Amino acid sequence: RKEVEQDPGPFNVPEGATVAFNCTYSNSASQSFFWYRQDCRKEPKLLMSVYSSGNEDGRFTAQLNRASQYISLLIRDSKLSDSATYLCVVPYGGSQGNLIFGKGTKLSVKP
């Protein structure tokens, strides 16, 4: 069974805080991983791709632990605009495979 599991939250943090989300996946053959951001009633939008041990883009850092089948997303210096649901996504079946979504972790950044 193809599963992607996330802590649903919500995570309520003050502006400027550092917050980390975790995700575990069941398909050990997966080679690429994604973090998407979804605002309320909007489409998922790609935040970061992870193909090796990790990736960093500004305030966002994603890390991958293949042995534990675990992916994390770290957000530093949180902004109000970071408030959203963060979706852990794992392709199934190779680079052209369909995407398996986690249920998402809701983040609320407060002033």
Partner 1 sequence: EPEVTQTPSHQVTQMGQEVILRCVPISNHLYFYWYRQILGQKVEFLVSFYNNEISEKSEIFDDQFSVERPDGSNFTLKIRSTKLEDSAMYFCASQGAVGYTFGSGTRLTVV
**Which spans of this chain sit near partner 1 (rule: CB under 8 A)?**
34, 41-46, 49, 87, 93, 96-104
- Least distance from partner 1 to the Cβ atom of residue 50, Å: 12
- Least distance from partner 1 to the Cβ atom of residue 3, Å: 11
- Least distance from partner 1 to the Cβ atom of residue 21, Å: 15
> Please, which residue, 83 or 105, has the CB nearer to partner 1?
105
26, two tokens: 């069941």
* CB neighbourhood size of 109 (10 A): 20
> Please, which residue, 79 or 103, has the CB nearer to partner 1?
103
- Least distance from partner 1 to the Cβ atom of residue 14, Å: 26
> Please, which residue, 16 or 94, has the CB nearer to partner 1?
94
> Please, which residue, 17 or 38, has the CB nearer to partner 1?
38
What lies within 8 Å, CB to CB, of 4 at 6+ separation is 23, 24, 25, 26, 88, 89, 90, 100, 101, 102
